[in-house]
Structure formats: structure tokens, C-alpha cells
Amino acid sequence: MRLTVVGCCGSFAGPAGAASSYLLEQEDEDGRTWRILLDLGSGAFGPLQAHIDPATLDAVVISHLHPDHFLDLTGLEVFWAYNARDLPRLPIFAPDGLAHRLRAVLGREGDVPDGVTCLPFDHRPIRDGQEIEIGPFRIEIGAVRHTVESFGMRVAAGGGVLTYSGDTDTCDRLLELARGADVFLCEAGYIEGRDDRFSGVHLTGRRAGEAAAAVGARSLVLTHIAPWTDPEVTLAETRAVFDGQITMARPALVVETESVRALP
Ligand SMILES: [Zn+2]
Ligand SMILES: [Zn+2]
């Protein structure tokens, strides 16, 4: 399974890249490449087009309804609804209420864009414990700890496992989702000390590292670092508690679960 970081900036798009969006690709036994997106936050639909033709997406899974994780679905919807090609309805797995939220942003009554006759998106609510199958991907959904209903995901495909934290503070469900993951794509939005007055919102480098160590993750990719945070501080916090492979997410970073599994 191949992960491509489309955007990884924490909380809002930054000067060097978009907010959260991660592309996963996996070939099936017939050689067809399946593509799913985990989140499509502010600014991420732009760089997505530099990586793939968005029409080749098979589904999108949204972790929670904060704009830095779903807002660029507005761009994807325009692309899908008004495309010269006749595209099949795209499954969008998301917390309940996404369709309503998009209607509010777009200022319209229903889910059908003006001037077209059919729905571009097939909205499918997600819940804790749900198992989703999309081509070769098996996705386990788990409710994590954030300021709004928020979900992490454990994605298995091609013999590899990638866990995405979504936005969360420390919680048991995150550990269940990340058990033995080849790639643990984990947010570290806060800094120890600086952000101690907030709880139940984000992890820090240290808390992400502690989670990775607790579950025996093979590698940790730290993400959701805001522009006002020095990533070296986050990295140092993590290194102090996790001695596995650590990578800072950056736009266009590619990680293959197969190469992680081949590590000594
Ligand atoms: Zn966020
Ligand atoms: Zn959030």
C-alpha cells in the first residue's frame, strides 16, 4: 500500500502546503489500482491534482467535520458534478452531518449542484466499530478523542497496515486502531508545556511517540504540525520516547508499507 501526503499542515493551510489529506493506493489481483483519500482539508484539492486525476478516486473517508479535514470537498464536488466525463457517484464516508455542512458552505437547499441533474456524492455516515471494504482496502473505523465527533482509521491492504489517527488526544481506541501498524500516521498538533492548558484536543510529539511505542508500530509519520510550531521540537519530543523509525510528514512524501515491513 502506498501513502502519498497531499497536505499535512495542522489546523489550516500553511505557507508551504495544504491542510490534511492523504492518498492511499493499492493494486488488486487484476492489476487495477484503487485509490482512496483520507481527508480533504483546506487547500488540498489543488495539490491532489498534481498527484492523480481526481476522477480515478474510488472513495473518500473523512475523519471529522473540521474545515482543515473536509473543506476542499467543495472543490472535488465541482470537479465531479461538472466534469465533461460522466463520472459514477463517489462514495464519501464521513461523520453524520457532512452533507448538511456542505449545503451550508455552498448556500443551497439540497445536495444536487445547480444546473446538473444527479448527485455527485454518495454520502455514507461512519460510526465507531464500522468495517468498510473498498476494493482491496479494509478499513476499521474507531471513535477517538477530539472536540467534535472524530474518527481514526486502521487501513489494511496488500498485506500492510496503515493507521491514521485523525485528530485526537490520547485515548485507548487510538491504541486499538494502531496495534502493530506498519505505518502509524499520527497527528502531533501540540507541544508539551506550550499547549498544556488544552486537553482532549490534540496529541503532542511525546504523546504520539508514547502511543507508537505502546502499540509496537513499525514506523511513525508525524503530521498535523501547525505553521507556528517548530517541527524540530515535535521531533525531539517524539525521539525521547519512541526509538522506531520517525518521519515528519511533508507534501508529496511517499511511504510504502512494503518497504517499512522490509526494515530490519
Ligand atoms: Zn485538524
Ligand atoms: Zn480537528
| pLDDT attached to residue 117 | 86
CATH number of the domain bearing residue 221: 3.60.15.10
- Return the number of other C-beta atoms located less than 10 Å from residue 225's C-beta: 26
| pLDDT attached to residue 261 | 85
| pLDDT attached to residue 191 | 98
| pLDDT attached to residue 76 | 98
pLDDT means over runs of 10, the chain (264 residues): 98 97 98 98 98 98 98 97 95 98 93 91 98 98 98 97 98 98 98 97 98 98 97 98 97 95 80
| Distance from Cα 11 to the centre of ligand 2, integer Å | 7
Contacts of 161 (CB under 8 A, 6+ apart): 154, 155, 180, 181, 182, 183, 257
Tally of structural domains, the chain: 1
Cell readout for 69 is 479535514
Q: Do 26 and 133 touch, CB atoms closer than 8 A?
A: no
Contacts of 220 (CB under 8 A, 6+ apart): 184, 186, 208, 209, 212, 238, 242, 244, 245, 246, 247
| pLDDT attached to residue 262 | 84
| Distance from Cα 131 to the centre of ligand 2, integer Å | 22
H-type alpha helices, 40-191: 45-51, 67-70, 73-81, 98-106, 172-178
How many angstroms separate the CA atoms of 253 and 2, rounded? Answer: 10
Q: Which ligand is nearest to the CA of 224?
A: 1
| Distance from Cα 222 to the centre of ligand 2, integer Å | 15
For residue 139, the enclosing domain spans 2-261
| Distance from Cα 41 to the centre of ligand 2, integer Å | 10
